[in-house]
């Protein structure tokens, strides 16, 4: 596969797993995140294992980050990315009455505007080349909102709506755009959320971990690699007829059927 992927938030967690999977499939991978030291370690590992990777240090909320990352692709490989993975850390938990304007503005930049900016920057060359794949990583709260995850629910749902709107527009150009809605995934983010819940309840972290996994029909959290496998399919030629969707990858957690 002679493709170039730009993977946001790829120093750890699902973003890193996606970068690793795409590289193992023969895709050249440009990684972007804030932690330059960790990016170098992970990029070097990919290259040592036979993949091809480089990295660009940047905060995805920075208005200049999309063009900086695209320029890094052009400098490294002489071409623009034709695969974009939009991925960013989640917003802080909390009910609407507990979240001030600053918290909302910060999360808006992270969870919605960063996706918009990177997509807007990548689309022109995809349209020119008549081929492109965009995969957004969000959460199942986009479909089954939780009062304690008000900001995540609002902005994740926004990404799903945006996905459908863009898909209709770019489909004739052989460009697909889809959203993956993971449920519980064994990442630092999940551990942090459970620790926060334990600190504000009468249950221990271990009890919350056990009860959370029991709520999932498969009885466990996903590994980041399981999300990466779906992302890699959507980013491939094999996923050419799937577009405008928001796909639950959650072990059966989400109860809705649409």
Residue 81 DSSP code? -
- Sole residue written with tokens 């692709």: 73
Q: Is the pLDDT of residue 258 over 70?
A: no
Q: Is the pLDDT of residue 200 over 70?
A: yes
pLDDT band at 124 (very low <50, low <70, confident <90, very high): very high
pLDDT band at 210 (very low <50, low <70, confident <90, very high): confident
List 224's β-bridge partners, or say none: none
Number of other residues whose CB lies within 10 A of the CB of residue 95: 12
Section 229-244 average pLDDT: 98
- Sole residue written with tokens 């971990």: 209
Which CATH number is 4-185+223-249's, of 3.40.50.12280, 3.20.20.140, 3.40.50.720, 3.30.499.10? 3.40.50.720
Whole-angstrom Cα distance, residue 45 to residue 212?
33
Q: Is the pLDDT of residue 1 over 70?
A: no
Whole-angstrom Cα distance, residue 198 to residue 204?
5
Output the six-digit token pair for 143.
């479909």
* Mean pLDDT score across all residues of the chain: 94
Section 102-113 average pLDDT: 96
Domain boundaries, the chain: 4-185+223-249
pLDDT band at 10 (very low <50, low <70, confident <90, very high): very high
Closest residue by Cα to residue 250 from 177, 161, 156, 150? 156
């Amino acid at each position: 596969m002679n493709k170039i992927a730009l993977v946001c938030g790829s120093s750890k967690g699902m973003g890193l797993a996606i970068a690793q999977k795409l590289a193992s499939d023969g895709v050249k991978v440009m990684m972007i995140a804030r932690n330059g030291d960790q990016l170098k370690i992970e990029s070097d590992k990919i290259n040592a294992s036979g993949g091809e990777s480089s990295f660009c240090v940047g905060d995805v909320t920075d208005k200049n980050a999309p063009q900086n990352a695209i320029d890094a692709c052009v400098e490294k490989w002489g071409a623009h990315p034709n695969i974009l993975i939009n991925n960013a850390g989640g917003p802080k938990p909390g009910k609407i009455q507990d979240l001030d304007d600053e918290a909302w503005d910060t999360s808006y930049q992270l969870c919605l505007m960063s996706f918009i900016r990177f997509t807007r920057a990548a689309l022109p060359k995809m349209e020119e080349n008549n081929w492109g794949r965009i995969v957004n990583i969000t959460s199942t709260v986009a479909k089954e909102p939780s009062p304690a995850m008000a900001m995540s629910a609002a902005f994740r749902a926004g990404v799903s709506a945006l996905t459908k709107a863009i898909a209709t527009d770019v489909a004739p150009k052989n460009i697909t755009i889809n959203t993956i809605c993971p449920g519980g995934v064994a990442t630092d983010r999940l551990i942090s959320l459970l620790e926060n819940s334990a600190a504000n309840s009468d249950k221990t972290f271990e009890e919350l971990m056990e009860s959370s996994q029991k709520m999932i029909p498969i009885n466990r959290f996903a590994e980041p690699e399981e999300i990466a496998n779906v992302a890699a399919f959507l980013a491939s030629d094999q996923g050419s007829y799937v577009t405008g969707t928001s796909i639950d990858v959650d072990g059966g957690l989400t109860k809705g059927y649409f």
